[in-house]
Amino acid sequence: MQKLNELYRGKAKTVFTTENPEYLILQFRDDTSAFDGERIEQLARKGMVNNKFNYFIMEKLAAAGIPTQMEKLLSDNECLVKKLAMIPVECVVRNLAAGSLVRRLGVEEGLELNPPTFELFLKNDALHDPMVNESHAIAFGWATAEQLAEMKRLTLAVNNVLKPLFAAGGMLLVDYKLEFGVFNGEIVLGDEFSPDGCRLWDIATRTKLDKDRFRQGLGGVVEAYEEVGKRLGMQFD
Ligand code: TMP
Ligand code: ASP
């Protein structure tokens, strides 16, 4: 399927229409952003690595019964997906404390969270993705109570698939963010799952293998993403 028109340009991906109104093409760029788009840099190979990474993870999730928008890998930087009506609320699950939870509650990074926490954030860079709750989402019409319940169920189900997958590669899935949309009335996982939107630490050394390397200026960002992929059995060349 061919790209038709640019529909939307995000911080790291561009979305194109296709001849079929039910399908879109996601193009993964090398742009890497942090702090709600305040810092953007080009990191060579990142688009290709995240596109293949995302495809691999989405296939694992689909095999475990999670509905995803993924249709097929088209090229190094592109995949074909179902067109969803996206819900502007980000779902975050945390197995260990890090990032904004540490800043907000003053707990120690790495504190184990059992059971895992579930949080919602409004997708809005200008407002710095503020934390919201279900009543906000319902009152402002971002999602219905039923849709939110399904988003929570699926986000926690993803943890049961991915925590053991990363553990088998010697990694801790610290936290992750998912975005959902609606396709034919059904809640479906959209956007991407890559080290841009989750935290992964080496189990033994707790070395950071995710976008915190970029946020914290640690270097070796794409190298770390590739290492994660290789530990899971992905091939990038
Ligand atoms: P946080 O600690 O900044 O709240 O982020 C939790 C996890 O969700 C972390 O892996 C990063 C991811 N995330 C995004 O990728 N984009 C976002 O806009 C938000 C709010 C979180
Ligand atoms: N929301 C992503 C992050 O936390 C990207 C961005 O903020 O620009 O890094």
pLDDT at 1: 84
Burial of 115 (0-12, 13-18, 19+ CB in 10 A): exposed
Q: DSSP of 195-212, one letter per residue?
A: TTSEEEEETTT--B-STH
Q: Which residues pair with 82 in a beta bridge?
A: 23
pLDDT, position 237: 82
Q: pTM for the complete prediction?
A: 0.97
**Mutate-to-test residue for ligand 2 from 33, 89, 131, 211, highest number of ligand atoms within 8 A of CB:** 33
User: Cα angle at 131 between 127 and 133, to 5 degrees?
Assistant: 130
pLDDT above 90 covers a percentage of the chain that reads 98
| Paired sense of beta strands 198-202 and 6-9, if any | unpaired
Report which ligand 1 atom has the smallest distance to the Cα of 119: 4
**Are the beta carbons of 147 and 85 closer than 8 angstroms?**
no
Give the pLDDT mean for 151-170: 98
Dist. CA 28–CA 18, nearest whole Å: 16
Q: Please report which confidence band the pLDDT of residue 83 belongs to, taking 50, 70 and 90 as the band edges.
A: very high
Predicted confidence (pLDDT) at residue 116 exceeds the cutoff of 90: yes
Whole-number pLDDT of residue 14: 98
Concatenated DSSP letters of 80-111:
EEE--EEEEEEEEEEEE--HHHHHHH-PPTT-
Express each pLDDT in 186-204 by its tens digit. Answer: 999 999 999 999 999 999 9
pLDDT value at residue 97: 98
pLDDT (average), residues 117-141 = 98
Domains contained in the chain, CATH given: 6-82 (3.30.200.20), 85-219 (3.30.470.20)
Ligand nearest to C-alpha 199: 1
Tell me, using a 6 A CB cutoff, whether residue 177 lines ligand 2.
no
Q: What is the pLDDT of residue 170?
A: 98
- In this predicted model, what pLDDT tens digit does every residue of 204-236 receive, in sequence order? 999 999 999 999 999 999 999 999 999 999 999
Q: Given the CA of residue 174, which atom of ligand 1 is nearest to it?
A: 10
Q: How far from each other are the two terminal CA atoms of the chain, in whole angstroms? A: 23
- How many Cβ atoms are within 10 Å of 202's Cβ, its own excluded? 17
